[in-house]
Chains A and B, each alone.
Chain A
Amino acid sequence: MLAKLLAHFAATGLPVALFAPPVLSLMMPGVYLLLPCLWAGLLLGGLCFSSIGLLGAALALGSRRNAALQAVIVLPLSVPPLIFGAGSVTSGQLDMGFLAPLAFLGAFACVSLTLSPFAAAWIVRMKVTTP
């Protein structure tokens, strides 16, 4: 499960996290000041989203209307990382230091990354074994 999660992150979250901030700073002047914040935020946020998505996929496994259901499950869980990620950029722009929201984002990433593979594995195992 962890391998699947990391593979998904490497395919979707990682390229965005690596290449979006420099491209953005070419398009918008002043963004380069926030480059470290954007890199860290997108990396941690991508990890959060990948592990939330893992849970969503495990929960919706074998259901009808699989895709729509996944979106509904993932929506409430992905609100906190979104808020902290956006909050870090906002407070970075206001010169208030972006580390505090990033710390929350990092905490969310740590918890979700360590727990969601086990939870997802358990859910899938129970779905397979229950008659």
Chain B
Amino acid sequence: MITKFANPARFERLAKTLLPVLTGLATLLLALGLCDALLLSPPDYQQHDAVRIMYIHVPSAWLAMMIYASCGVAALVFIVWKHTLAELFMRAAFPVGAVATLICLGTGMLWGKPMWGAWWVWDARLTSVLVLMFLYIAILALMDAFDRPEQGALAAGWLTLIGMINLPVIKYSVEWWNTLHQPSSLSSFKRAMKPAMADEMLRPLLTMAFGLFCYAAIIVIVRLRGEIIARKRLISGKR
């Protein structure tokens, strides 16, 4: 199955059909989600309107971790089978994940100041996400530091695999340690069936999350197309 989709020509055809669908979905979901999040959903009984930061903070955190996980899979595929498309996917997706992490940290700080009274505390959740940010920066720096792109991708792929250990630490940091950050409200499917959140707040949260996922998928696909074209030029230029 992997080899079937690892063909750039097949990817190009897939991208042509997927892009309009994803664009429509992202526009629809983000428009609906933003209206719902900013206007229709009720303010929190303690946090008032500041709770609306959640509708961008939580989806961007999910996105940051999902992109890292998918890049981990791509890194494994690249290291084991040397598929160039996996390398190009890493190049296309990592900056998007880094931006998602940055948004997550930034909105978290903006939320922390009014609610906790501090922009930043060194609790386990915040620190592990900061480590994720540093990992993203290190991987991006490593990827472009070599004369030959494959070597950079190889080193960055190894660092990606080593850094995968951080993902479960982020997820369970609020349960393993006593944190100021609140524990998860939607930690598993079992709890997602009966979440610790009102339906009127869950609905915009999930709409925004899926809208952002579609938006990120669009950016990654477009960037991946660019990377493929650039790599083809590099190869034909060398000959």
Residue ranges of A at the interface with B (Cβ–Cβ < 8 Å) = 55, 59-60, 62-65, 69, 72-73, 75-77, 79-80, 83, 119, 123, 126-127, 130
B158: chain A residues at CB < 8 Å are: 59, 119, 123
Chain A residues contacting B146 (CB-CB under 8 Å) are: 62-64
Q: Write the nearest CB–CB distance from A102 to chain B, whole angstroms.
A: 16
* With contact pairs A69-B145, A72-B138, A79-B134 given, residues A59 and B159 touching in the complex (Cβ less than 8 Å): yes
Contact check: which of A55, A64, A80 meets B145 at CB < 8 Å?
A64
Q: Could you tell me if B135 and A76 are in contact, using CB atoms closer than 8 angstroms?
A: yes
Q: Is the CB of B154 within 8 A of A69?
A: no
Do B150 and A73 touch (CB < 8 A)?
A: no
With both beta carbons as reference points, the residue of chain A lying nearest to B122 in the complex is identified as: A83
Residue-wise interface mask of B (132-160) relative to A, using a CB-CB cutoff of 8 A (1 in contact, 0 not) = 10110110011001110011101100110
Complex: how many Å from CA A106 to CA B154? 30
A73 touches B131 (CB 8 A): no
Q: Give the nearest-CB partner of B147 in chain A.
A: A64
In the complex, the answer to whether B154 meets A127 with C-beta atoms within 8 Å is: yes
Q: Which residues in B have their C-beta under 8 angstroms from that of A77? A: 162-163
B127, B135, B158, B166: which has the most chain A beta carbons within 10 Å? B158
A-B contact pairs, 20 of them (CB 8 A): A55-B162, A59-B142, A59-B155, A59-B158, A60-B142, A63-B155, A65-B145, A69-B142, A69-B145, A72-B137, A72-B138, A72-B141, A75-B138, A76-B138, A79-B131, A79-B134, A83-B122, A119-B162, A126-B154, A127-B151
List, in ascending order, chain A residues with CB within 8 A of B145's CB: 60, 63-65, 69
Residue among B122, B130, B151, B162 having the largest count of chain A Cβ atoms under 10 Å: B162
- Measured CA separation A66–B6 after assembly (Å): 32
* Chain A residues, CB < 8 A from B134: 72, 75-76, 79
Total interface residues on B, CB under 8 Å, equals: 25
CA separation between A63 and B145, bound complex, in Å?
Answer: 5
Please give the distance in Å from A24's CB to the nearest CB on chain B.
23
Complex alpha-carbon distance, A64 and B166, angstroms: 27
Interface hub of B127, B134, B150 (most chain A Cβ within 10 A): B134
Provide the residues of chain B in CB contact with A73, threshold 8 Å. Answer: 138, 141-142, 159
CB pair B154 A130 closer than 8 Å: yes
Residue of A nearest to B140 (CB): A72
Nearest CB of B to A104, in Å: 10
A73-B138, A76-B138, A79-B127 as given contacts; A123 in contact with B147, CB under 8 Å: no
Bound complex: CA of A60 vs CA of B138, how far in Å?
11
- Verify A130–B150 contact, CB threshold 8 A: yes
